Amino acid sequence: MIDVKTLLGDLGVDYKASGKNVGSNDINISCPFCGADKHLGINVSSGMCYCWVCEFSDLQKHPTLLKILMQSTDLPWYKVKEVMEDHGWTFDGIPEPETGDGLAKKCWLPKEACDFSENTKQRDNALHYLKSRGFNENTIKAYNLKFAVGGAYHKRIIIPVQFNSMTVAFTSRDYSGKQGRYKHAPLFMCSRRIKDSLYNYDAAIAGTGHAYLLEGPFDVWTIGDGAMAVFKSALSPMQRGLLMQLRLKSITIVFDPNATTRAYDAASALSPFIPIIKVVRLTGKMDVADLGKDRVLQMEADTQIYRG
């Protein structure tokens, strides 16, 4: 039996090992095809996969675990295959090589993406959701947010990802409450892998030597400039490299309550390069966006420096 937990951990893929919707011999991850949160089950004995929401109905062929992990990590097939083999996974045949890395020369947003200046019912619904979370038109303008009507991103906030003042990728957030929360852009719509990026990185470049490392875009909007997000995954080597380039004097890491282990892993990876690190531990079910900036800053002040 393959240790699927360790495999997913090494690839930086979040998982749920027990609880609602998790089979007795399964580990669940979010579906990279429909975005359903922790509804794709991986059988730990066979490696067979099944999404309980979309059932992969829009795909011509039932995807293998290799293909699913490629989509979940934005890594090329040979890198995912190498990690799987390191964990004892065996393949009956060699997968067909894929030309290039799958990235586009330029990022393009979904054709269904609309500006919030449009006066429609769909705009009102999206705006109502943002305001219910504590954000407003200033947030929309500052982060160039859009909303989608129809298509694969229907009823989602479109969140562009900037790098060196250019849009290189995007993610999206459901506002209907009837879909998986986050859905990233596929590789062919990005000019840079989303997990090789940090959300709001450009704003942190002009910072004061201190930064906040958070989970998702909503957390960044709450804290403001100087805050970056890892897109709710483990800190990747490329993301660590970006942080090293900032030559930070200090950093505060605040991940979601269920991601404490990943937060400390990030602190350990950054400790040789950043002198002062704090890891603010959240409990309960409230994340940074739920708690608000003032509460998070107070918790930061009460947190001791990370010693490794």
Helix axes 4-11, 77-86, angle to 10 degrees: 140
- Residue 102 covered by a domain: no
From residue 34, alpha-carbon distances to 65, 178, 283 in Å are 16, 12, 29
Q: What pLDDT shows up at residue 101?
A: 56
Same-domain check for residues 190 and 123? yes
Whether the predicted pLDDT of 95 surpasses 50:
no
Asked if residue 105 is part of any domain, the answer here is no
Section 28-50 average pLDDT: 85
Distances (CA, A) of 100 to 64, 103, 108, 207: 20, 8, 19, 35
Summarised one tens digit per residue, pLDDT across range 230-277 is 998 889 889 999 999 899 999 999 999 989 999 999 999 999 999 999
Residues 18, 279: Cα–Cα separation, whole Å: 26
Average confidence (pLDDT) over 183-210: 84
Residue 212 and residue 153 share a domain = no
* Claim to verify: residue 17 and residue 58 sit in the same structural domain: yes
Residues 190 and 207 in one domain: no
In a domain, 219, yes or no: yes
Contact 228, 210 (CB under 8 A): no
Long-range contacts of 236-242 (CB under 8 A, 24+ apart): 236/12, 236/195, 236/196, 238/193, 238/195, 238/196, 238/197, 239/195, 239/196, 239/197, 239/198, 240/269, 240/270, 242/197, 242/198, 242/201
In this structure, are 168 and 238 located in the same domain? no
Q: Give the per-residue pLDDT at 92.
A: 59
3-state DSSP helix/strand/coil percent for the chain, to nearest 5? 35, 20, 50
Mean pLDDT of 61-67: 80
Residues 145 and 124 in one domain: yes
- Please tell me the predicted confidence (pLDDT) of residue 207: 61
DSSP 18: S
pLDDT (average), residues 166-185: 90
- Claim to verify: residue 145 and residue 219 sit in the same structural domain: no
Instruction: Give dist(CA 69, CA 5) in Å, integer.
Output: 13
Q: What is the CATH number of the domain that holds 206?
A: 3.40.1360.10
Q: Are residues 18 and 32 in the same domain?
A: yes
Which token pair is 256?
Answer: 């979601």
Q: How far is CA 132 from the centre of its chain?
A: 22
Last residue of a domain, one of 169, 196, 223: 196
Residue 57 has pLDDT above 90, yes or no: no
- Is residue 104 included in any domain, yes or no? no
Contact 24, 36 (CB under 8 A): no
**In terms of DSSP H, where are the helices of the chain?**
4-11, 65-73, 77-86, 121-132, 137-142, 201-205, 217-223, 237-245, 260-270, 288-291, 293-301
What's the whole-model pTM score? 0.70
For the chain, what percent of residues have pLDDT higher than 90? 49
More confident residue, 227 or 307: 227
> Last residue of some domain: 49, 68, 86?
86
Residues forming beta bridges with residue 160, ordered by sequence position: 170
Distance between CA atoms of residues 51 and 36, nearest Å:
8
Q: Based on the fold, state whether residues 60 and 125 are members of the same structural domain.
A: no
Residue-averaged pLDDT of the chain: 87
Are 180 and 259 within one domain?
A: no
DSSP 199: B
Residue 224 lies in a domain: yes
Enter the DSSP assignment of 62.
P
CA dihedral 206, 208, 214, 218 (to 10 degrees): -60
Provide the residue type at 293 as one letter. K
Number of structural domains, the chain? Answer: 3
What pairs with residue 228 in β-bridges?
A: 213
In a domain, 91, yes or no: no
User: What is the C-alpha to C-alpha distance for residues 193 and 256, in angstroms, rounded to an integer?
Assistant: 23
Coil, helix or strand at residue 92 = coil
Range of the domain at 277: 201-301
Quickly state the pLDDT bin for 75 (edges 50, 70, 90): confident
Give the separation between CA 296 and CA 278, rounded to whole angstroms: 12
- 126 within a domain of the structure (yes/no): yes
- Residues 188 and 218 reside in one and the same domain: no
Q: Which of 162, 196, 230 is the last residue of a domain?
A: 196
Phi, psi values for residue 83, rounded to 5°: -65, -40
**CA dist 2 to 27, 47, 50, 131, 158, Å?**
12, 8, 18, 45, 37
For the ranges 12-26, 58-72, 141-155, 278-292, which has the lowest average pLDDT?
58-72
Query: What tokens appear for 53 in the block?
Result: 């929401």
For residue 169, the domain's CATH number is 3.90.980.10
Task: Tell whether 180 is covered by a domain.
Answer: yes
Residue 98 has pLDDT above 50, yes or no: no
Phi, psi of 35 (to 5 degrees): 85, 5
Q: Is the pLDDT of residue 86 over 60?
A: yes
